[in-house]
Amino acid sequence: MDDLEKAILIIFDESGTIDNELKKRAENYCNEIKENKASICRLCIEKLCFSNLVQVQFWCLQTLHDMIKACYLSMAPEEIYMIRSSVFSIVCLEPVDDKNRRRVLEGPAFVKNKLAQVLTTLIYFEYPLIWSSVFVDFFPHLSKGNLVIDMFCRVLNVLDDELISMDYPRTSEELTVAARVKDAIRQQCVAQIVRSWYDIVSMYRNNNEELCASALDSMRRYISWIDIGLIVNDAFIPLLFDLVLAGSLSDSLRGAAIRCLLAVVSKRMEPQSKLSLLQNLQISRVFRLVAENGDAELVSDISSLLTGYAVEALDCFKLINSEDAKGVSMELLNEVLPSVFYVMKNFELDDTFNVVQFLSGYVATLKNFGPLREKQLFHVGQILEVIFALIRYDPTYRTNLEVMDKIGKEEEDRMVEFRKDLFVLLRTVGRVAPDITHLFIRNSLASAVSSSSESNAEEVEGALSLLYALGESLSDESMRSGSGFLSELVLTLLSTKFPCHSNRLVALVYLETVTRYVKFIQDNTQYIPMVLAAFLDERGIHHSNINVSRRASYLFMRVVKLLKVKLGHFIETILQRLQDTVAQCTIMNSSTEVVSGSEDGNHVFEAIGLLIGMEDVPPEKQSDYLSSLLHPLCQQVETLLINANLSTYEETNAKISIIQQIIMAINSLSKGFSERLVTTRRPAIGLMFKQTLDVLLQVLVVFPKVEPLRSKVTSFIHRMVDTLGPSVFPYLPKALEKLLAEIEPREMVGFLVLLNQLICKFSTRVRDIVEEIFPGVADRIFSVIPRDGLPSGPGAVNEEIRELQELQRALYTFLHVITTHDLSSVFITPKSKAYLDPVMQLLLYSSCNHKDILVRKACVQIFTRLIKDWCAQPYEEKVPGFRNFMIEAFGINCCLYSVLDRSFELRDANTFVLFGEIVLAQKVMYEKLGNDFLVHFVSKGFSAAHCPPDLAEQYSQKLQGNDIKALKSFYQSLVENLRLQQNGSLVFR
């Protein structure tokens, strides 16, 4: 063993005993050998002849493959001849220079595949122009038996993989070469290749099935582009069917024959010819196999053949105009469909998606018929049975799905995705044959209802899922009227308690289905008690499975939203049934776990709020209801806050969790109360919420630095702003002060959103509050946001930078909200003046350079508004220095230089909107700043941009006119002209 062989063995070693340094040295050594391009190919051939090490053989073949691909065009003819003759000799078991002592063809599959790849690469470059006889030369050697025949098949397969098959993306050069190779094979030797396949299969079917399967696999690949008559004849088709129907043969060989028949069926051809082909095949010969075979792989192949056949028959029906031919197509379909249905209902298949797509196409075709015939109606019923069979869960996963472990979660996710196409098919069937679909769903539900066993959970879940999916295709009118069958189904649904209702999936789909059909209840109020019972008993919110209970809470809230005007008489009953659920929020829990209601329990409070917050609830009862809910919750918060700082770490965490839950519950409860009700109609209700706000603000005093609590209190203030209106003002200074005192940068975004809400809702009425809070906000933000911009680009943005980017975007929005709500005076109060320059510089930089076009637009709009506010009259100096800043900095840099930059893409829709804002800003500057702006803009800006005097004069005229559209159009053409003149040589910044 020489050094090269030793190095190759080290490279391929996977024992883990060789250190990385030695492997690296071995790789470097082998790479140095490769660098000697003058001798490397001959060295590889010699090693292939003499080495019995498969690692060395593979390395040599890989090196040869790489060299041919990279250097073929620069190789000497004699070297190419040496490689060609040597490789072909090895492939054909011929000696190389009378020295071939080792047989590579006796090696493992990965070595033989690599050898086939080397030969295929030579074919790529040389066939047929240089080496025209490569395939013809192969045929005499096939008589040597298994090894050469196997290699012949491998070469054909690799040629398909590497060059011919359209299953992989190809370059234009590869497509050209593939066409050249296929044309040459068709003209020269395709008949001999097909004859070889036939001889191989005929000769070896009883003593080497693996070799036969390999030959058939090659044939399958080539059928799509060779003359179909070479295969569809009295010799080959009977042979293929003989193999398929021979139960004594292996499933792998029978499967290979089936896949060849599928390739024949799928061959692209003129529709009439295809129809004749399908008729002559007599595919019915394989129908019995679907019932006889239990092997999943063979059944999958049979299913693919039957589906492919059905797809082609359906295409013939669509493409042929002759009524006779259409009739033949439909007969073929009628013949094959029962077997397709049988396989779908009884086996798990890899190509289920393709079958479902075919069935969708078939049903869509039925839409063009008048009344469906008996056979078609039967097929529609069979399709519904297929859908029902496929959407049912496998009972073996029942426990996993119940506890929702990793396996259960994966199975549920898989089934959700898998069902999508099936439910689309269901809706298509429902449109084509509504009566049959409705009857099928009714019977499925009736069958599920009639069972007294818990063991049919999957059947019940499937029947309910069908009913749920059907609702998606029903119009609102159909839903409300309950058209015939629907009222019966809904009544069955509401009145049934399935034995398997404890099953999580059954309970969930039951509640989802009731929710989907609740629109029917709106016009059929007699069913309301049954709906409420479904949600309030052990089928819903009181279900033993916490996941079902939580989902039921959310769905109940949605139902209440839809039905609340009809639920006035049921409020007492509902509150009574929810008493234990509501009480969970006020139960002190000694552990740090959140109480069992979790956040989803808040949907119950939202539902209650929607009910008791209605104006037609009597005032006394409304006060009693609300007080009975708010009082214990507030009392609980006050109790938890007493001596909170003296608690242990575990006790403090438990208190924080419960307070969070209570705040969210009160927040959800308040959503049902309108501002008009609590401030105008029934101020006593408003007083209760104010008292609650007083209590909850104490949380910020006791726990000033607990971010989750601060977030929840902020959210509640949002709610109270909407609910209490201006009467919330007295509480805002203290609340905002406490929130700002200990605020972290990541919290500042939420704080700005709260301020934006206040400004948007109350405008100038919150001027004093905003003026008081703005200096603190500006100080916090400018202390964390770099003045020279935030880093960007790959690898530069981490979580901290993302938070700062989000904060910066929130700041732009905040500044925009201030200026557009007549509050620009906030920037120039004595306390805020120190931050005016940083604000202006940030806005200027961002209006010119920010990567987000929408941010740039907002900044331009801010400046436009400030000009109007602070420069009401020409030459007025309301804010010292602002006029000059706008003329010299904003006017030149944003309105001219930034749009001249080639990164300013005028063809982009958002950028073009920004351009319009920039033009508008110029117009406003001229109106408010007069000739000072125009003279400076033209003399300095246009001069630096080398703008011709005549264009500058035209700009001045357009700016002084009244047609903003004409100004925008002219300025766009001006910018494009100036860009052409710069020719990329002038960069403005």
Cα 493 to its chain centre, rounded Å, is 34
Degrees to nearest 5, angle at CA 193 with 190 and 197: 140
More confident residue, 140 or 598: 140
Residue-wise pLDDT for 253-286, tens only, equals 999 999 999 999 999 999 999 999 999 999 999 9
Assess contact for 461 and 506: CB atoms under 8 A: yes
pLDDT value at position 592?
A: 38
Whether 596 and 553 have beta carbons less than 8 Å apart is answered as no
Handedness of CA 546, 552, 555, 556 (dihedral sign): negative
d(C-alpha 55, C-alpha 41), whole Å: 17
Q: CA 32 to CA 39: how far, in whole Å?
A: 12
Q: From the CB of residue 232, how many other CB atoms can be counted at a distance below 10 Å?
A: 17
Are the CB atoms for 556 and 540 separated by under 8 Å? yes
Domain ranges (residues) in the chain: 832-988
Q: How confident is the model at residue 487 (pLDDT cuts 50, 70, 90)?
A: confident
CB 684 within 8 A of CB 623: yes
Q: What is the pLDDT of residue 314?
A: 95
Question: Residue type for 518, please?
Answer: V
* 647 pLDDT more than 70: yes
**Quick check: 361 pLDDT over 70?**
yes
Of the candidates 767, 768, 801, the one whose C-alpha atom is nearest the C-alpha of residue 786 is 801
pLDDT score, position 225: 95
The per-residue pLDDT for 872 is 76
Residue with the bigger pLDDT between 58 and 453: it is: 58
Predicted local distance difference test score (pLDDT) of residue 796: 64
Residue 193, CB half-sphere, CA atoms under 13 Å: how many?
A: 26
CA nearest to 714, candidates 674, 663, 658: 663
The pLDDT score that the predictor gives to residue 596 is 42
Measuring CA to CA, which residue among 480, 390, 384, 378 is closest to residue 438? Answer: 384
The pair of three-digit structure tokens given for residue 623, joined into one six-digit string: 């006060």
pLDDT tops 90 at residue 777: yes
Residue 38 to residues 33, 44, 49, 71: CA-CA distances in angstroms? 10, 12, 19, 11
pLDDT of residue 586: 60
Where is average pLDDT lowest: 756-765, 796-805, 862-871, 936-945?
796-805
Angle at 322 between CA 319 and CA 326, to 5 degrees: 65
Alpha helices in 703-744 (DSSP H): 707-724, 732-741
Contact (Cβ atoms closer than 8 angstroms) between residue 715 and residue 704: no
Determine if the peptide bond prior to 271 is cis (ω within 30°): no
Residue 482, Ramachandran bin (φ over 0: left; ψ between -120 and 50: alpha; else beta): left
The C-alpha atoms of residue 149 and residue 141 are separated, in whole angstroms, by 8
Torsion from C-alpha of 100, 102, 105, 108, nearest 10 degrees: -160
Q: Say whether pLDDT at 490 is over 80.
A: yes
Q: If pLDDT is split at 50, 70 and 90, which confidence band does 294 have?
A: low
Instruction: Read off the pLDDT of residues 565-609 as tens digits, 9 standing for 90 and up.
Output: 999 999 999 999 999 988 876 665 444 344 444 455 689 999 999
pLDDT higher than threshold 90 for residue 702:
yes
pLDDT of res. 600: 58
C-alpha 71/C-alpha 588 separation (Å) is 79
- Is pLDDT above 70 for 452? no
Alpha-carbon distance of 166 to 878, in angstroms, equals: 72
pLDDT of residue 299: 87
Q: Give mean pLDDT, residues 661-688.
A: 94
pLDDT score recorded for residue 481: 74
CA angle 893, 898, 902 (to 5 degrees): 150
- Burial class of residue 589 (count of CB atoms within 10 Å of its CB; 0-12, 13-18, 19+): middle
What is the C-alpha to C-alpha distance for residues 702 and 696, in angstroms, rounded to an integer? 10
- Let me know: does 714 contact 739? Beta carbons within 8 Å: yes
Here the tokens at position 788 are 């020279």
Predicted pLDDT at 567? 93
pLDDT for 590: 41
What are the structure tokens assigned to 407, written together?
A: 């396996």
What average pLDDT does the chain have?
Answer: 90
Question: Do 796 and 739 form a contact (C-beta atoms < 8 A)?
Answer: no
pLDDT score at 759: 96
pLDDT category, 751, cuts 50, 70, 90?
very high
What is the number of residues in the chain? 989
Cα–Cα distance, 43 to 29 (Å, whole number):
15
The DSSP letter of residue 94 is -
Give the burial class of 899: count Cβ atoms within 10 A of its Cβ; 0-12 exposed, 13-18 middle, 19 or more buried. buried
